[in-house]
Structure 1
């Protein structure tokens, strides 16, 4: 398992559009991808779970990836969050 802590920079947090982009980009990876936010573990390949998590701008999250392509998945996930998810 690999993990990284990142700060959400997207002005509206993980609302529908950025959550959809995140899920779309994470789905091809074989690894399990989860986000830890406020002691909750969220399946990062589920748009409903991401949207329901209430992750707002400035939130510190931990991204965890576990599986055969975990390092590539983590690098992509961190890059997406740091980029503001297209917004």
Structure 2
């Protein structure tokens, strides 16, 4: 299992546009990744409703997890890097 915790950098948190961009990237990667806030429920990174249900605002630490191996590690790192950017910025 590969895990990485990262703070959400987008001004609006994981809501609306940032959540959409995050989910689209998770779908593009094609590796099952789960997302959770604290010790709460895990949701699939590919589920828009699941990601929105986390209620992650700017600065919230979210944990991404995937099965071990190079693909899982690469997917977790790519999604963590995405969350560390302000996805509300015009260049997304």
Q: Quick check: TM above 0.5?
A: yes
Runs of 4+ aligned residues of structure 1 deviating over 6 Å after TM superposition are: none
- Counterpart contact for 2:12–2:88, Cα < 8 Å: no
Distance 1:24 1:86 in 2: 15
Distance 2:88 2:65 in 1: 22
Cα offsets for 1:16-64 (capped at 9, x unmatched): 1111100111112232111111412111111111112211111111111
Distance 2:80 2:61 in 1: 12
- Counterpart contact for 2:17–2:88, Cα < 8 Å: no
Residue 52 of structure 1 pairs with residue 53 of structure 2? yes
Q: Which runs of 5+ in 1 are unaligned?
A: none
- The DSSP-based 3-state class of the residue aligned with 1:13 is coil
When the two chains are superposed, the root-mean-square deviation of aligned CA atoms in Å is: 1.6
Provide the aligned length of Structure 1 versus Structure 2.
Answer: 87
Please report the TM-score for the alignment, with normalisation by the length of structure 1.
0.88
- Higher relative strand content: 1
- Counterpart contact for 1:32–1:67, Cα < 8 Å: no
Distance 1:70 1:40 in 2: 20
Please report the TM-score for the alignment, with normalisation by the length of structure 2.
0.84
